[in-house]
Amino acid sequence: MSNKTPSANHVVTNAWQTLRDFTDARIALGRSGTSIPTAEMLKFQLEHAQARDAVHLPLEAKQLYETLKTGLIDRPQALDLFASSEPLLVNSLANDRGTYLQRPDFGRTLNPSSCAQLALETAKYDLAICVVDGLSSMAIEKNALPFLQQLLSALDGETIRLSPLTVCSQGRVAIGDHVAQLLGAKTVMVLIGERPGLLSPDSMGLYLTYDAHVGCHDAQRNCISNIRPAGLSYEVAVNKAKYLFEESKRLKLSGVNLKDRTEEAGNVLTSHQSFLTQTK
C-alpha cells in the first residue's frame, strides 16, 4: 500500500469548464477524489450565508430616501418625486422582520399611520414609484438609485404626472396597489428586493400594475426580474419598463394581456442572452 499523501491541489477539472465563462450557475465544479473541491464548498457556504443575510438585513428607509433624493435631484422629473413636504416613509402591517417572514399577508397592506400619511396627498397622478425592501434590502440599496437615474433620464420630456416617491419597509409586491390607491395614481411601479438566490443576493425586481388598487392579483402585473449589474442591466431594464409603461397607458391594461415586445421593436438586449446565443 502506498504511503503517499494526495496533493492538496489535486483537483480534476470538468470538461465543461469553459462554459463557466458564460454563466454564474454552479456548473463544472470539478472534483477532488469523490467530492467537490474544498474551494467550491467554501464558496457555496459563503453564498448561502450572504443569501440568508440579505433576507434578514433591515432597510434603513430614511437613509435610503435621502440617498435617492441626493442622487436624483438634478433630474427634472425628480422635482415631482420629492415634492412632498416630508419623506413618504411607510410600513406594512408587519412591525418586524420575523412577522414579515411568517405573515406574507401583513406585508401586502399598509399600517394605519402610513395610510393616514398618504391620504394627505390629494392630487391625481399617472405613475407612482414605490421602493420596497421585499426579501432583500441589499438589492434595493445597491440598485434603486442607478436604475431610477436612468429611468428618469429616459422619461425626461414625457408628459407624466409622477407622484411623490414612497419608500416602504416590510413590504410585498401588492403593497404598491395600496400605495397607488391612496395616492390616486393610475399606475404603480414597484421596485422590490427579490428572494435571494445563492448567486444573487442583490437582485431587484420591478412590477408594473395599471389601474392599481387593493385586491389586484398577480395576473394584472408585468414583471422585470434580476435587475443588477451581474444580471439584467439597468439600460435594458429601463428600456423594458418605459415600453411597458407607455403601452399600458395606451392600451389601459397590464399583466398577461400586455406583452413585452421590446425585442420585436428592434432593441438589442444582449446583456441577458444565454451563452448558447452568444456562441452562435
Q: What is the pLDDT along the chain (280 residues), one digit of tens a residue?
A: 445 444 556 888 877 888 877 777 777 788 888 888 888 888 878 877 877 777 778 899 999 999 999 999 988 888 899 988 889 999 999 999 999 999 999 999 999 999 999 998 878 899 999 999 999 999 999 999 999 999 999 998 778 999 999 999 999 999 999 999 999 999 999 999 998 877 788 999 999 999 999 999 999 999 999 999 989 999 999 999 999 999 999 999 999 999 998 877 655 444 444 434 444 3
Q: What is the pLDDT of residue 268?
A: 46
Q: What is the pLDDT of residue 270?
A: 44
Q: What is the pLDDT of residue 177?
A: 97
- 3-class DSSP assignment, residue 46: helix
Do 205 and 140 meet the contact criterion of CB atoms below 8 Å apart?
no
Q: What is the pLDDT of residue 278?
A: 43
Do 236 and 271 meet the contact criterion of CB atoms below 8 Å apart?
yes
Q: What is the pLDDT of residue 150?
A: 96
| Calpha distance 164→130 (Å, rounded) | 9
Distance of CA 100 to the CA centre of its chain: 18
Q: What is the pLDDT of residue 133?
A: 96
- 3-class DSSP assignment, residue 265: coil
Count the neighbouring beta carbons within 10 Å of the beta carbon of residue 163: 29
Nearest to 278 by CA among 28, 23, 24: 23
Q: At residue 85, what are phi and psi to the nearest 5 degrees?
A: -65, -20
Q: What is the pLDDT of residue 277?
A: 42
Distance of CA 221 to the CA centre of its chain: 14
Do 224 and 206 meet the contact criterion of CB atoms below 8 Å apart?
yes
Helices (H) and strands (E) in the chain, counts: 9, 6
Q: CATH assignment of 58-262+271-276?
A: 3.40.50.11240
Beta-carbon contacts of 23 under 8 Å, excluding residues fewer than 6 positions away, are 274, 275
Residues in the chain: 280
Q: What is the pLDDT of residue 266?
A: 57
Q: What is the pLDDT of residue 9?
A: 61
CATH 3.40.50.11240 positions along the chain are 58-262+271-276
Beta-carbon contacts of 13 under 8 Å, excluding residues fewer than 6 positions away, are 28, 30
Nearest to 177 by CA among 185, 162, 263: 185
Q: Distances from the Cα of 152 to the Cαs of 28, 56, 165, in angstroms?
A: 41, 30, 12
Q: What is the pLDDT of residue 94?
A: 96
Q: What is the pLDDT of residue 265?
A: 60
